[in-house]
Amino acid sequence: MYAGVPYQLVGLSCRAERGGKMDTSIVKLNFTSPIHLGAEGAAVEKIYDFLHSDTLFSSICHAWLQTYGRKGLEELLGEFPKDKQNVPPSKELPFCFSSAFPFVGKVMDGEVRTTYFLPKLKKRPPFPDFEDKPEPKEAKRVKKTLDDMDWIDLSFFWEWAGYRKPVRLKNEDLDPRKWRCLREKLDRMNELLNKAVESDFRPRVTIDRRTGRSLLYFFRLVYFSNDQREGKGGLYFLVKCRDQDMKDRLTTALKFLGETGIGGERSSGYGKFEAEWCELDVDWTIPQKILDYPLERVTLSLYYPPNWDALKPVSNYTLLRRAGWLESPFAPKPQRRLVMYMFEEGTVFDVNKNLLLFENEPRSIPTETLGTLVDVAPEGFLCKIGHSVYRYGLAFTVPVVPG
């Protein structure tokens, strides 16, 4: 049993409490070289500037195999639900985590302040309905700016998550100055991120083995700035571990990944990183107005439900196609993984309809998870190679106000 390995990124961190219980932590991935994160595509390759949760899991399994051997990896995977199974309420998983999103650390007033970015929620944005009132031009510009953005900062994420419809239109909503200030705030988010995260396309040529013809294609490298005056960039994710022993084992796996590199083109020295473990600060405290209406959840990871037929209608979602290649040290060559579709980060689920589970203390991130690992090995792979290939589909969620 193995997770489809290579070309992925991972980092983990947890803080132990008395009795071995682990808090949710943030792991910052500080890159010391460019990274190549490719997806399906031809001619101009499709790329990402962040890491999906299933790629994190694949990297963990790759490192686990190298550090703890085949038996150790099989024991780890044996503790996760598979295919049609779900996560029992009493089941404590070895670890669970979100996808890895951008962050920027910048020196302000003599100290480094970190801005965490998150995906936009797939629900109505936190703006009032103007109904029969004329909508200010600045309000339209704000909506257009938000539509063009991929990421929002943590404070705006909580504002969006806590927004409840309908809302009474106020006189200040008709004032263009309010919308101008909001647009400037969104512009500053974009400017901060664009200075810290840059990319560069590079041409490559591949030769068709049968015809001998050449094919030009482009691949992209992502660069993260190391200048804290302008903004030091990187990726981060939220993670929760079961106990101190699991944290120690993950630390060893992380060291392997950081030294060998992650992503594509590792033989060229790309993908080197150092992991930094951090505790959640006060900015991550879930606002009380959200806890008062814990009826919906937004996913910060990819999610694959164990039973699609039992899933109630979800109005705010995007399905993401996941495919690609798998590699195994026990297989002679890479092979295609089975294609599957997963709910994308930012999807909003109704808790009562879909029975997403809560922890006893909803201020803790994340809640208990639902989801499953899915075997994506091609037909006959298990018989020929002797193990399965799993994709990570557990949901990592936080509460939002229905809106």
* DSSP per-residue letters across 306-321: S-GGGPPP-SB--EEE
Q: Is the pLDDT of residue 314 over 80?
A: no
Question: 402, 392, 401: which is closest to 371 by C-alpha?
Answer: 392
Dihedral-angle region of residue 19 (phi above 0 means left; psi in -120 to 50 means alpha; beta otherwise): left
Contacting residues for 150 by C-beta, under 8 A, at least 6 apart? 119, 120
Mean pLDDT along residues 367-390: 75
Task: Quote the percentage of the chain above a pLDDT of 70.
Answer: 79
Q: Is the pLDDT of residue 95 over 50?
A: yes
Task: Quote the percentage of the chain above a pLDDT of 90.
Answer: 23
pLDDT score recorded for residue 403? 66
Task: Give rounded-to-5 percent helix, strand, coil for the chain.
Answer: 30, 30, 45
Q: Is the pLDDT of residue 72 over 60?
A: yes
Per DSSP, 311 falls in state P
* Paired strand residues for 30: 274
- Compare 312 and 352 and report the one with higher pLDDT: 312
pLDDT score recorded for residue 20? 38
Distance CA 48, CA 150 (A): 11
Mean pLDDT along residues 80-100: 76
pLDDT score recorded for residue 29? 93
Distance CA 194, CA 53 (A): 23
State the maximum Cα–Cα separation within the chain, in Å, rounded to a whole number.
70
Residue 277 token pair: 């473990």
Distance CA 300, CA 399 (A): 11
Candidate ranges 246-260, 324-338, 350-364; pick with highest mean pLDDT: 246-260
- Compare 35 and 309 and report the one with higher pLDDT: 35
Residue 396 token pair: 């990592």
Distance CA 266, CA 261 (A): 6
Q: Is the pLDDT of residue 80 over 50?
A: yes
SS3 55: helix
Rounded to whole angstroms, what are the CA distances from 183 to 2, 106, 167, 188, 400?
Answer: 47, 21, 21, 9, 24
| Entry pTM | 0.84
pLDDT score recorded for residue 53? 92
pLDDT score recorded for residue 150? 92
Contact (Cβ atoms closer than 8 angstroms) between residue 395 and residue 99: no
Q: Is the pLDDT of residue 357 over 50?
A: no
Residue 64 token pair: 């686990």
Mean pLDDT along residues 362-391: 69
Contacting residues for 148 by C-beta, under 8 A, at least 6 apart? none
